[in-house]
Amino acid sequence: MSRILEVRIPDGPLPEKWSNYKAKARLVSPNNRKKLDVIVVGTGLAGASAAASLAEMGYNVKSFCFQDSPRRAHSVAAQGGVNASKNYRNDGDNVFRFFYDTIKGGDFRSREANVYRLAECSASLIDQAVAQGVPFAREYGGYLRNRSFGGVQVSRTFYARGQTGQQLLLGAYQALMRQVSAKKVTLYARHEMLDLVVIDGRARGIIARNLDTGQTERHAAHAVVLATGGFGKIYYLSTLAMGCNASAIWRAHKKGAFMANPSWTQIHPTCLPQSGAYQSKLTLMSESLRNDGRIWVPLQHDDTRAPGAIPEEERDYYLERKYPSFGNLAPRDIASRAAKEQIDAGKGVGPLKNAVYLDFSKAIGEYGKSTITERYGNLFTMYKKITGIDAYREPMKISPAAHFSMGGLWVDYDLMTSVPGLFAIGEANFSDHGANRLGANSLLQACVDGYFVLPYTLQNYLADEIRTPRFDPDSTPFIEVERAVKAQLQQFTDCRGSKTADEFHRELGRELYDKCGLLRSGEGLRNAIRNIRELREAFRHDLLVPGHTDEVNSELEKAGRVADYMEIAELMCIDALHREESCGAHFREEYQTAEGEARRDDERFCYSAAWQWTGNPSEPVLHKEPLVFETITPTVRSYK
C-alpha cells in the first residue's frame, strides 16, 4: 500500500525557506553534544565535511571508510570544478538563475526547496574552501577564475586546473584529521559497513568488517549518516574506481530506507573510449574541456583518414549544429545521446569506431598553447600518458561512459531517510539533481550537505535524543544483525562454484548498459529484468570465492558488493519500466519527439518514485512524492 511521504519542507516563500528552518530548528546545547554519538560512513567530500563539522560542534563521531586513508575516497577523482553563483564574471548569474539552471538541467524532476538551498549555500562553500587553502585558479588581479559547464550560459564554475575534487578533498581531509587529533573523531579506515542496526524503528548503529583482519565489529550511535557515494559502478565499465559500491545504501534500503529514482543514472559524454575486453575501468576527461574543445565526427561513414586529413567541410560539429544556443556545452545527457547517435550511425572514430573527436586546434590557434596548458595541462598530460597521443597536435577521442547516479536513498528536506535517525548525504541520496545532473554540481552538493545543511538538520533530530542513553553494541539487536551478516559471508565462501564475482559483475554491467543505459525500451527492460533474475540465480549457485571469511579476502568483499548489485539492477529496470516517459538521462525510445528529443509526461509522472523493500527484489512497493512547482513552471527542456 502506498504511503504518504513526509517531506517536511518549511513554510514561506522559496528564498526564505532555509532561513526560516534555521531560525526555528531545535538545538542541542554544547554540554549535551558530548553525550551524543554519531556514525558517519564514508570519507569523501560529503562524509569528511560532515564528520569534521559535527565533531567541531562537540559531538562524538565515528568515521568509517574502506580505503586505507580518507584521502583515497573517490571525490579525489573529480576534475572540472565546483559551481557557485558569485557572479564574478558580471554575466548575470544569481541564486535564482543557478536554481533554475539546475531544475531545468534535471528536466523538472527535482524538489524545488532542496535545489534552491543548494544554490543559496553555494557562495558560502567557495569562501569555506578558500579559507581552507584550496588553490582555485585565479585571474592576474587575484580574483578567482571561472569557467562554464554544460547546460548553462554563465561562468559559475570554480576550479583548480583539472584537480578540483582532489584539492577540495584535501581541505576536508585536513579538517577531519584535526578532529581526529583532538579525539573528537575516531577514524576506522579499512572498515566496510555491511549492515544497519535498527532498534524500535530508529537507526542505532552499524555492523562493519575490518578488511585487514576479516573480523566483524558492532558500532552503536544515536544517529547514522551515510555518505558512501553512488552506484554507477553497477555497469562495471564506468568512470568510478573499482572499489566504489552501493552496499551501504542498499543494506539500509533493506532495513526500511526507501530507494528513490534508481533508474536515473548519468552517462558522461567525455571519457576515454573502451579499447578492449580486458578493461575494468574507463577514464574520465573533465567536462570542462568542452569549454574550448569542439566535438565533431566525419561526415562520411567509416572514414579511416587521420583527423588532420579531413577538411572542415567534411566534418560534422553536430552539437553546434543541433543545439546552437549551447553548442558543445549542451548538458551531459543530451551530449552523450548525441554522441551515441553518431557512433551508431557509423561515424564513430578510433580503432573500435566507438568514439568522437574533441578538437582543440581552434582554441590553440586563438589563445595559444600556453593558455590551454594553463587551463587543462594535467588533463592533456593524463591523456598522453594513457593513449600516447599529443592532444595539442591532434584531437582527443572521447566516448560516453557510466558516471553518476542521480537516484539514491530517498530523503526529506532534513536529508533524513524514511528510517528515523538515518541520514544520507552527497551522491548517496537522490535529492538535488532530478533526472540529470549538471556538471560541477556534484562537488557542490557533497560539500553543502556536509558543511552547511547536516549540522542543522541532524541537530534538529538529536534534540530529542539527549535523554537517550548510549546503546550497548553487545545487546541482542546488534548480535542478531551481526549473526545474519556472518551467515551471508559464509554462504559466499561455501558456494565453491566456477565463476568469480568479477565475471558476474561484467555480465551484469553489459546487460544494464545495453538495456538500461543511454537508451531504454519497454521490451528491452522486460528482457533485462528476466535476464537479471536468471543471472542472480546463477550467482547464488555458481559463485567462486576462495579463502575464508575471517581473513583478508578481497574476493569476499567483491562478492558482497556484486550480490547487492544483482538486486539493485532489477530495481533500476523496474523503475525505468514503470516511468513511461523520457526525462533527462532516462530516455525511453517509445517516448520521444519528432526531432528525437525527450518527451516528458508531467500529467502522469511529475513525481519522485520511492521504492520500498518487501523481502523480494522482484516485488518492490512504489511510493510517490509529488513534485510541486510553486516558483517556476515546467516547460519543454530545450537547448536549441
Catalytic residue check, 218: no
Burial of 556 per CB tally in 10 Å (0-12, 13-18, 19+): buried
Of 277, 346, 286, the closest CA to residue 316 belongs to 346
Residues 111, 332, 337, 588: which is the catalytic one?
Answer: 332
Please enumerate in sequence order all residues whose Cβ is within 8 A of that of 129, keeping only pairs 6 or more positions apart, or say none.
82, 136, 158, 168, 171, 447
Q: Give the 3-state secondary structure of residue 204.
A: strand
Please enumerate in sequence order all residues whose Cβ is within 8 A of that of 338, keeping only pairs 6 or more positions apart, or say none.
318, 319, 322, 330
Q: Give the 3-state secondary structure of residue 340.
A: helix
C-alpha cell at 151: 547546460
Q: List strand residue ranges (DSSP E) for 247-343, in order.
A: 259-260, 265-271, 294-298, 315-316
Distance, CA of 115 to CA of 123 (rounded, Å) = 14
Instruction: Name the one residue in this structure whose C-alpha cell is 533500476.
Output: 572
H/E element, 219: strand 216-220
Q: Which of the 8 DSSP states describes residue 71?
A: G
Distance, CA of 437 to CA of 426 (rounded, Å) = 13
Of 131, 8, 114, the closest CA to residue 441 belongs to 114
Distance, CA of 544 to CA of 24 (rounded, Å) = 55
Distance, CA of 94 to CA of 91 (rounded, Å) = 9
Q: Which of the 8 DSSP states describes residue 191?
A: E
Q: Give the 3-state secondary structure of residue 503.
A: helix
The alpha carbon of 96 is separated from its chain's Cα centroid by a whole number of angstroms, namely 24
Please enumerate in sequence order all residues whose Cβ is within 8 A of that of 382, keeping only pairs 6 or more positions apart, or say none.
162, 283, 285
H/E element, 541: helix 522-542
- Let me know: does 342 contact 297? Beta carbons within 8 Å: yes
Cβ atoms within 10 Å of 65's Cβ, excluding its own: 26
Q: Which residues form the catalytic set?
A: 332
